[in-house]
Amino acid sequence: MGNLTAHAGISSVWFLPGPDSPYGRRMSQTYEFVVVANRLPVAAETAEDGTITWVRSPGGLVSALEPTLRREPAVWVGWSGRYAPDPYSTGDLGVELEPLPDGVGPCPLVEIELTREEMEGYYEGFSTSTLWPLYHDAIATPVYHRHQWEPYVAVNRRFAEQVAEIAAHGATVWVHDHQLQLVPGMLRERRPDLRIGFFLHIPFPPVELFLQLPWRKEIVQGLLGSDLIGFHTPGGAENFLAVTRRLLDVETDLDSVTVADLSPAGGKRRVGVGAFPISIATGEYEAIARTAEVQDEAASIRAKIGNPKHVLLGVDRLDYTKGIDVRLKAYVELLEDGSIQPGEAVFVQIATPSRENVEDYQKLRDDIELMVGRALGDHGVLGAPPIQYLHQPFTREELVAFYAAADVMLVTPYRDGMNLVAKEYVASRIHDDGALVLSEFTGAAVELDGSFLVNPYDADGVKQAIRDAMAADPEDLRRRMTRMRAQVENHDVDAWAKSFLDALEAPQ
């Protein structure tokens, strides 16, 4: 464990001791609490010589669940990021791979082995090219291909089969996100004794959009295998209930659906449907922000970009839903019309690499970099570039330093289930200062009422919000930030997980 920690810097909470490695054989141990997600909390990075380095998986789900799994004995089922050898045999776990790293800790890992071809259909295809754009209000045009739906079904079935094998009688199973929407139904057929929860980490679309999906009934029926289905916002829950009423002959009320019970007792079973806004480990962000190292780094960041009067910041995965182009266009127009003078402000955009094998994301990167290049050419001043663009990943500590350095945070998605970056910024503002410009089409907009809300489709409105945030009275900013900080402190990720699991365990 010492070598791995030294080289990869991963918390030991996640590792499965070597003697218990499940690869290539059936597991004899069963678990009372099973977490199921597309990705494991560790990811394999394969070098050119074939050696594997294990790193912490990217994305918010690991950070969201880690505090809960430090306390709750559990097993995590998912894919590690490495490809199984071809051909794949669907009759067992496949060709044996090298095991996950040895280690100690309360959370063992079970890897679902997937070939490159399966990932192209199940993840890059159906999950990313069909469900992702459809669930984000069809910002990009969804594609509907049977050859992508079929591997989606097959991979969901493999997840369900593995969970059915390792879950103890009456165990609690928590399934996560749009890649695994069929798992609850498939698992219910195999193990009606289980308590199954599902949480969707992206928006659920309105009826008019969801009905485009050729496999709409299959998705809804898959989700209804759950005992509880959770969404970020009441609007997501309402959309799901409306879709269910439209497609199926079932009873619904304001917060549930009644379906046939598959257990030996038969009868009816109630499926709870509700809003459970996800959050962050607020205390951890505050503690990081209070360190001298982070405060010094924040000062260093400002110095490196010329100590401008205003530092504006965007932090996103490079994704077309995030509205990076919205804020870039608004900022450039403010430079053009003289609202921002050369040297007065610097806009720092961090765009973490994402889904680089998918064509839409490759094009997005090209478009963003072209916009940045043109802006620098048209408005750059020698020694004082108005934009700093960073297409690279950063550690949490590095991001907190950027949050601490920024006077104005720009979060302008066209659509977002929650957007935890907005909450991370608020948690990091330990002096109760700073301004948050926030899209009204994020789940976070429901909670962070001290932000400057914008419609990302309204270019003039975005420009005005940036002007207002930059010119705001410090006392007004303090009142706004104090209110938002109280919200994220009182509703952190522990409260989110507890509220969902308590609701899941409650009698329906």
**Per-residue tokens: 467:** 């002007």
pLDDT at residue 94 above 60? Answer: no
Element (H, E) at 46: strand 42-46
pTM over 0.85: yes
pLDDT at res. 5 = 27
Closest CA to 469 of 441, 489, 450, 488: 450
Over residues 447-492, the pLDDT tens digits come to 999 999 999 999 999 999 999 999 999 999 999 999 999 999 999 9
Over residues 146-183, the pLDDT tens digits come to 999 999 999 999 999 999 999 999 999 999 999 999 99
Pairwise CA distance, residues 318 & 413, whole Å:
11
Fold of 2-278+497-505: Rossmann fold (3.40.50)
Over residues 190-224, the pLDDT tens digits come to 999 999 999 999 999 999 999 999 999 999 999 99
pLDDT at res. 6 = 26
Over residues 382-416, the pLDDT tens digits come to 667 889 999 888 999 999 999 999 999 999 999 99
Neighbours of 265 (CB within 10 A): 8
Element (H, E) at 220: helix 216-223
Ranking 92-96, 168-172, 299-303, 423-427 by mean pLDDT, the lowest is 92-96
Pairwise CA distance, residues 206 & 214, whole Å:
15
**Per-residue tokens: 343:** 């040297």
Cis bond upstream, residue 87 (ω within 30): yes
Q: For residue 507, which amino acid is it?
A: P
Pair 404, 262: CB distance under 8 Å: no
Over residues 272-321, the pLDDT tens digits come to 999 999 999 999 999 999 999 999 999 999 999 999 999 999 999 888 89
As a whole-number percent, the residues of the chain with pLDDT over 70 amount to: 87
**Domain layout of the chain by residue ranges:** 2-278+497-505, 282-490
Fold of 282-490: Rossmann fold (3.40.50)
pLDDT at res. 18 = 38
pLDDT at residue 17 above 60? Answer: no
Neighbours of 71 (CB within 10 A): 10
Q: For residue 378, which amino acid is it?
A: D
Ranking 22-31, 82-91, 204-213 by mean pLDDT, the lowest is 22-31
Tell me whether domains 2-278+497-505 and 282-490 share a fold: yes
Alpha helices by DSSP H, 351-419:
359-379, 396-405
